[in-house]
Amino acid sequence: MFNLYRLDEDTYFHHVITRRTDPADFFDHQHTFYEILLVVRGQGTFLSGNATYEYSDRTLFLVPPGVYHVISPPAENYERFLIQFSKDLLPPALRTAESRQIRLGDDIYSLFIKFDEYIDMFRGEALRQLFLSFLTEVMVLLTCSPADQIAAGKIPPLVEQALEAIAARLHEPICIRSLAEELFVSRSYLSHLFSETMHIGIMEYVRMKKMYAAHSLLKDGMPATAAARTLGYSNYSTFLRNYREQFHCLPSD
């Protein structure tokens, strides 16, 4: 069961119920847009950035662009609202770079229910304007109002140190050997603990972070060859292949 409104290729509102979930359908990722996940029914764990959160009914997560995240879904009857949208749809004052994790009261939750009903009642420009109004009101309440924040769980200190090292050295060539040496552990132990915690291989994570950094540089007007050099690639063909695998297009597209 689902209800879907799509404003354009990168912007949508989705209400969906999954009776039986397959963990393979809920993969780790980050993206260039905002994402709001409202869990209506279900319990599990959500990893965002370098912290984990336990969620239950009426838990909302706001994930800004560039933040890695992955959810461990409930086994069955997983109901959620999912909104994806560009920062360009928001006034500058609402373009927060901070993640939010809150338990919802009726004020914000009722907005989701109302817009879900609007999808069946309106079409065209009327529905578009209602969506933009809904999105702005939700973001105002999320960023400007007190909320019941969810306490973050800790990830292993070694993984947190690895994330910090990767972020600090993103513009250099990075390999697991150099990371392990910097953190004074074996490559195999670092690789196992990182994958177990983050649900992604450490070098796959490095490539993903570099590619999203490249996407941002390209959007700011930097030539692709310069972006590759800036991010520590000595071989442009490797950069090109990684970019195509991540975004399914060329840097020039």
How many angstroms separate the Cα of 165 from the Cα of each of 19, 110, 169, 203, 233?
A: 40, 42, 6, 13, 18
Region of 138 (left: φ > 0; alpha: ψ -120 to 50; beta: rest) is alpha
**Domain extent listing, the chain:** 2-149, 155-247
pLDDT at residue 143, rounded to an integer: 82
Name the architecture of domain 2-149: Sandwich (2.60)
Spatial neighbors of 186 by CB under 8 A, at least 6 apart, are 180
Structure tokens at 199: 């649900």
Determine the Cα angle at 153 with ends 81 and 76, to 5°.
40
pTM of the full predicted structure?
0.89
Backbone phi, then psi, for 252, in 5-degree steps? -85, -10
Q: What is the pLDDT of residue 159?
A: 96
Length of the chain: 253
User: What pLDDT sits at residue 252?
Assistant: 84
Contacts of residue 112, defined as CB under 8 A and 6 or more positions apart, other chains included, come to 15, 38, 81, 138
Q: For residue 91, what pLDDT is reported?
A: 87
DSSP letters along 2-52, please?
A: EEEEEEETTEEEEEEEEEE--GGGS--B--SSEEEEEEEE--EEEEETTEE
Query: Can you say whether the dihedral through the CA atoms of 135, 2, 40, 82 is positive or negative?
Result: negative
At residue 145, the pLDDT reads: 66
- Where does the chain show beta strands of DSSP type E? 2-8, 11-20, 34-41, 44-48, 51-55, 59-63, 69-72, 76-85, 100-103, 148-149, 153-154
Per-residue pLDDT, 236:
95
Q: Are 14 and 83 in contact (CB under 8 A)?
A: yes
pLDDT value of position 240: 95
Fold of 155-247: Arc Repressor Mutant, subunit A (1.10.10)
The reported pLDDT for the residue numbered 85 is: 96
pLDDT on residue 33: 93
**Beta strand extents in 131-179 (DSSP E only):** 148-149, 153-154
- pLDDT under 70: residue ranges of the chain: 1, 145-148
Q: What is the pLDDT, as a whole number, of residue 203?
A: 97
